[in-house]
Structures are given as structure tokens and as C-alpha cells.
Amino acid sequence: MILALEPAPANADVVVPSLDALMRNLWDRFHALSPLEAGLLVLPIGLVFLLYGFKLYKWLVSLVFAGIGAGLGGALAACVGWSAMLGMVAGALVLGLLAWPLHRIAWGLLGGAILGGAAVLLVSARSQDPILLAIVATVIFAGGFILTLLVMRPLIILVTAILGAAVLVQAILRLSLLWPSFGDPVASMLQAKPYLLAILVAIPAALGFLLQWRDTSGAAKASSKKKKAAAEEE
């Protein structure tokens, strides 16, 4: 069966959800889950990224670009009068699938965009000159792109270790709410002293970084190859 796609009426009110709105919606849905459901849902995700983030970073990059593609595709579809949802799906598929084989370039683009955006925010606090902002964005983006590729392994391990640790701590905190006499005071203390939450994330993040660094080192790879060769000989 062939379905004909017709453009939406020009006067139709098309609402394109932003990436920020989508993330907020997901966050609200997560908080609506029971502590047990939320904890068991994200606990494995946190552990996987904490311990195996470098091996899975291509998935992370592809997901980020899929989100970017969804936002761009939805906006473009709305501009030409097509279904915003169809544009979001198409954009997510195109950029997400392209980012997989081009993961190194995609990683560099992410690094350059984050550093360039941060530099623009810092400079814009003192100057609103568009030419200056454009120069700063271009220079920092290019430098960030190159730097991100040069320190690719340690940066990926650092980012995934922090992400995994943050998710893991969030899962444990949600599970602690199953025992209100313990979980509620802990939640109140962390709200009053946010730096304690940063410390809680930093400890497993440092451990995850060290474990990933060891597992992805040349010595670890050589040992793995020797074990495979010995197994094949047997």
C-alpha cells in the first residue's frame, strides 16, 4: 500500500518542540517514575558508560547527532509546511546514521561546537560586536575541533566516566527513596550543599576513568590478543 504525503496547509499552526523542551519532557517523565522503576532503569546505563564508555562512545555521538538532526529536521519541515514530526524523524535518522561511520569527525565537531559556544558566551558578556564574536567562534571552533581529535581517547574516557557516574549516583539516590528515613535526609542535605553531589559524582568518575584507561591501554590490548591467540591454538 502506498501512502501519499501531502504538505500541511500553509496556515496550519505547526509547533516544533525544541531539543531543550524534549529533554525537559524526558526529565519530567523520569521523575514521575517510582524510585524503584527509575533506579533500575538508569542504574545499568550508568554502569555501562562508567566502565565501557570508550567502547560505546560511537553510540553516544550518534545519539547526540540524532537529537540535533531531529531539531533541525523539525524546524526545516515546519518552514516548508510539512509535518514537523516527519521532519524530526528524517533528520534524526540522517544525522544519526551519518555520525556512526564519521564518528571521529562528529566527535571533533561536537568538541569544537562546545568550546566555540562557551568562548562566545564568555566574550559576549563584555562585547556584543558581531565581527569579534564571529572571529572568536571560528578560531575557537577550529582549535577545539583539532584539540578534541588530538586528545580523543582521554577526553572520551573522561566525558563518559563523568556521564556514567552522574547517572549512577542519580540511580542510587532514587533507590534510596525506597527508605524515606534514609533517602529524604540525604536528598535534603544534597540540596542544601550541592558541592557534596559533585563529590559523590567525582569519586566514581575518577575510578571509572582509571579502569577505562587501563582497559584501553596498549598493554591491555596486547594481553587480549595473546589470550585470543592462545585460545585459538587450543
Q: Is residue 180 part of a domain?
A: yes
Q: CA-CA distances (angstroms) from residue 103 to 92, 149, 184?
A: 15, 11, 42
- pLDDT value for 23: 63
Asked if residue 17 belongs to a domain, the reply is no
> One-letter amino acid identity for 18?
S
- Residue 203, pLDDT above cutoff 60: yes
- Domains in the chain, number: 1
Q: What is the pLDDT of residue 19?
A: 54
Percentage of the chain beyond pLDDT 70 is: 80
C-alpha to C-alpha distance for 20 and 203, rounded to whole angstroms: 29
* Residue range 126-185, pLDDT digits in tens: 878 888 888 888 998 999 899 888 888 998 898 889 988 998 998 898 888 888 888 888
4 domain residue, yes or no: no
Sequence-distant (≥ 6) Cβ neighbours of residue 190 within 8 angstroms: 173, 196, 197, 200
Q: What is the pLDDT of residue 123?
A: 85
pLDDT band at 227 (very low <50, low <70, confident <90, very high): low
pLDDT digits (tens, 9 = 90+) for 108-137: 888 888 888 888 888 888 878 888 888 888
Assess if residue 80 is contained within a domain.
yes
The answer to whether residue 110 sits within a structural domain is yes
- Domain boundaries, position 97: 35-217
User: What would the mean pLDDT of 83-111 be, rounded to a whole number?
Assistant: 88
170, 42 Cβ separation under 8 angstroms: yes
Alpha-carbon gap, residue 180 to 7, rounded angstroms: 53
Of the chain, the percentage scoring pLDDT greater than 90 comes to: 15
Is 138 among the domain residues?
yes
- Could you tell me if 212 and 157 are in contact, meaning their C-beta atoms sit under 8 angstroms apart? yes
- Give the pLDDT of residue 122: 86
Give the model's pLDDT for residue 178: 85
Say yes or no to pLDDT of 228 above 70.
no
- Within-domain flag for 227: no
Q: What is the pLDDT of residue 85?
A: 82
pLDDT at 32 over 70: yes
| Distance in angstroms (rounded) separating the CA atoms of residues 74 and 88 | 4
Q: What is the pLDDT of residue 202?
A: 93
Does a structural domain hold residue 51?
yes
168 CA to centre of own chain? 15
Under the banding of pLDDT at 50, 70 and 90, the label for residue 75 is confident
Residue 220 in this model has a pLDDT that exceeds 50: yes
